[in-house]
Structure 1
């Protein structure tokens, strides 16, 4: 069985974590498969938006603990972090296409933090998020200590990391951890609508917006203003900008091509 599924339709790549029997927890094979699929989506010009979701009752329960507790299977935490999770998080942030985290079930440990590394995170009303690391004597990884305090504030993030509280999707939305909670019964339909909307927007501009927000995490104001100027000049040279302003003048809906 493929641990990662990929479907491309209407400019949208749907990537599905597919180890439902272990709540889509990561082993070495699944991590490397996700690396390859993300790389393929990045290089495929037909893909203009990406959805990352899970199969079954969970989005992702983090690391497959059977792998790390079986001596002949255990790659060790150094390899797990440096070769599995860190490359996944950096890919999610560096791909210049919008990535929706469509959280279909519990997101725990590394699974929760991979979700938070996506550009736009939506979840249905039955979803929960858990920084489960401290509950087994570990520390947050996969970018959790970077993204979480920036999303919800230092005090709240530190408490969640230490206590390992289970946070409902509604609570996550209220504290700014995720973009929106969607109804369970229309979850897939609304995720698809959002993804298709993004896929029909000016892809290069969205990629530049993503780059700007990434850099804003570490830039000072002067550096950020300079980067805004640089990327605005580049955006103004795209075909989609010309189409956007032409459509505005002609009072019609623009037809962006991602160029």
Structure 2
């Protein structure tokens, strides 16, 4: 498939999806989500075991395109476009069996902030910033940003960002617990892909369960989490990767995981 709004690159079992609308600061339109969803499925079919999402040019993503045309135009009922494009994509990312690394190369505003924070590992350029810009145009956070910021940084920071609509610099985002690493601008994608390659070479089944287990723990009781850990450990303990790890330990060598 030929993509208009994104690029897909696959190397070392890592799929890199680049939002490629630099003239619009990689603003989001429904067809971009359609393309990104197709690209993810295609990459997984080709053996990808980790995903990187980044942006082309000076922005990661400026949020929704307020001037989309045709099928990409904003409808009067904004909930309809959220149901059609935004929420299905966020749910797709959350449900993946492979880890997701976001390389936040520049501003991540509005829904772009939510997209950036969907990463299991968030690598952010030193000059980049997060911005829940919704209040500045009379809207409310979407694309999961409310949950992601509140769970990552707490109620006070979520309300500050959402109510004031002010920039949050990379170092501040790191201090707040919203991003994993802050790196020099020119090395964002390289470092994100290196992390993704490490994850892609890991025990894929266990990694997939870990990402879902942590997400579930955010709204579970301790007892529920203990039960989930037990159930997942039963599955992980029967994988070929676990058997390989035990054998490698006994043989004093590095395990070679196959993702099964």
Q: Same fold judged by TM-score > 0.5?
A: yes
SS in 1 for 2:244: helix
CA deviations over 1:122-146 (Å, ceiling 9, x no partner): 1111111100000000000111111
SS at match of 2:68: helix
With over 3 angstroms needed to count, the CA separation of the structure-2 counterparts of 1:94 and 1:185, relative to structure 1, is same
TM-score by length of structure 1 reads: 0.95
- Partner of residue 87, structure 2: 86
Kindly indicate whether residue 114 of structure 2 is the aligned counterpart of residue 119 of structure 1.
Answer: no
Tell me how far apart the structure 1 counterparts of residues 73 and 104 of structure 2 sit (CA, whole Å).
Answer: 28
Alpha-carbon contact 2:126-2:183 (below 8 Å) kept: yes
CA distance in 1, matches of 2:53, 2:190: 15
Q: Distance in 1 between matches of 2:6 and 2:252?
A: 43
1:12 aligned onto 2:14: yes
Secondary structure in structure 2 of the residue aligned to 1:47 = coil
Name stretches of at least 5 consecutive residues in structure 2 with no aligned partner.
Answer: none
Which residue of 22, 25, 29 corresponds with 1:23? 25
For residue 218 of structure 1, what is the aligned residue in structure 2? 219
Structure 1, 16-25 or 187-196: larger mean CA deviation: 187-196
| Pairwise CA distance, 1:166 | 0.2
The number of aligned residues is 257
Residue of structure 2 in register with 1:175 after alignment: 176
Residue in 2 that maps onto 1:252: 253
What's the CA shift string for 1:88-126, capped at 9, x where partnerless?
A: 111111001000011111000000011111211111111
Cα shift at 1:28? 2.0
Residues 124-203 of structure 1 aligned to structure 2 (within 5 Å): 124-203=125-204
Partner Cα separation in structure 2 for residue 57 and residue 101 of structure 1: 15
Task: Judge conservation of contact 1:35–1:87 (CA < 8 Å) in 2.
Answer: no
The 2-side partners of 1:120 and 1:114 are apart by: 12
Question: Distance between the aligned counterparts of 2:34 and 2:190, measured in 1?
Answer: 29
Q: Distance in 2 between matches of 1:72 and 1:235?
A: 43
Alpha-carbon deviation of 1:44? 2.1
Q: 1:35 aligns with which of 29, 34, 37?
A: 37
Change in CA separation of 1:165 and 1:193 when aligned onto 2, cut-off 3 Å: same
Contact in 1 for aligned 2:124/2:170 (Cα 8 Å): yes
- What is the deviation of 1:72? 9.2
Query: How many Å apart are 1:189 and its aligned residue?
Result: 2.3
2-structure distance, mates of 1:170, 1:51: 21
Displacement of 1:175 in angstroms is 0.8
**Superposed CA RMSD:** 1.7
